[in-house]
Structure 1
Amino acid sequence: MKRTAEIVLAVIGALGYAFTAALGGFMIWLQNNKGLMEEVFNETIEQNPELGMSDMEVMLDALGTGGWLFAIASVVAVILGIVAIVLLKGNEKRVVAGIIFIATAVIVAIVTSGAGILAGLFYLIAGVMALIRKSKQVIEE
C-alpha cells in the first residue's frame, strides 16, 4: 500500500518545525544583537515608565532561552520526522513510524509550550494514519 498521504503530511509537519526552528534562531539573534534591543528597550521605557530595566533584562534572558529551546526541539523533530518517513517508505515498520510521529508531536508541543502545535498536528495525523491504515493482503487462488 502506498503511504503517500502520511508522507505528505509528514513533510508539511517537518516544514512547520523548520519554520519554528527559524523562529528560535531569530530569537537567539535578537538576544545577541544588544544594540538593537537597547534601542527597543529605551523606546519601550519612554512609552511605559512603569517598566524597569530589570524587567527588560529578564525578558531578554527569556528570549534567548526560549530561542534555544525552540531551535533544538524543532531540529530534533525534523530529524525524527525524516527517520519516520524512511521507516514508513518501506511500509514494513509503519507501527514504529506512527509511534515516532505521535510521540514527537506530543513531546515537542509540550516542550515548546504550544509553539510547535500546528506542525505537531500534521505529525499526529500522519502517525494515526500510519497506525490505523493496514496494508491490503493479496489473496492467491
Structure 2
Amino acid sequence: MKRTGEVILGIIGAFLYGILAFFGGLFLWLKNNPDLVQDMLNESPEDLGVSLNDMIATMGTGGVYLLVSSLIAIVLGIIAMFLLKGNKNPKIAGIIFIVTSVIFAVITVGAGIFAGILYLIAGIMCLVRKPKTLIEE
C-alpha cells in the first residue's frame, strides 16, 4: 500500500515548522542587532510601552524556543516519513506524527497549530488505513 498522502502531509507540515524555525532564527538575529531594533522602534509612531532591553530579551528567548522546538518537530516528522517508506511501520509513524503534533502545537503556544494539524491528520491516516485484503474463493 502506498502512503503518498501521509508523506505529502508530513512534508507540508515539516515545511510549516521550517517557517517557524526561520522566524526563530530571525528573532535571534534581531536580538544580536539591537541597533536595528532601536531604529525600527524610532520609526514607529506609537509607543509600545515596553523597554528596548525587555523586548530584545524576549525576542532572544522566544527565538531560541521557536527554533529548537521547530527543528525537533521537523526531525521527528522526517523519522516518521522514513518509517512510512515501503509501508514498514505505519503504526509507529502514526504515533510519532500524533504525539509530535499535539506536543509541539502546545509548546509553541499555538504558533505551530497548522503544521500540527497536518501532522495529526497524517498520523490518523497512518493508524486508520488498512491494506486491502483479497478474498479468494
Please give the TM-score of this superposition, normalised by the length of structure 1.
Answer: 0.89
Aligned CA RMSD, in angstroms, stands at 1.7
Residue 73 of structure 2 corresponds to residue 34 of structure 1: no
User: What are the Cα deviations for residues 17-62 of structure 1, in whole angstroms up to 9, with x where unaligned?
Assistant: 1111011111111111111012233445x743x836xx33222111
Please give the TM-score of this superposition, normalised by the length of structure 2.
Answer: 0.91
Q: Which runs of 5+ in 2 are unaligned?
A: none
Q: Which amino acid aligns with 1:24?
A: G
Alignment correspondent of 2:57: 61
User: What are the Cα deviations for residues 67-102 of structure 1, in whole angstroms up to 9, with x where unaligned?
Assistant: 111111111111111100010112131110000001
> How far, CA to CA, are the matches of 2:3 and 2:135 in structure 1?
21
Q: Which amino acid aligns with 2:13?
A: G
> How far, CA to CA, are the matches of 1:19 and 1:56 in structure 2?
26
Q: Which runs of 5+ in 1 are unaligned?
A: none
SS at match of 2:87: coil
Q: CA deviation at 1:140?
A: 4.9
Match of 1:133 among 126, 129, 132: 129
The list of structure 1 runs, each at least 4 consecutive aligned residues, that deviate by more than 3 angstroms after superposition, is 41-44, 138-141
Equivalent residue pairs, number? 137
Q: Give me the identity figure in percent.
A: 48
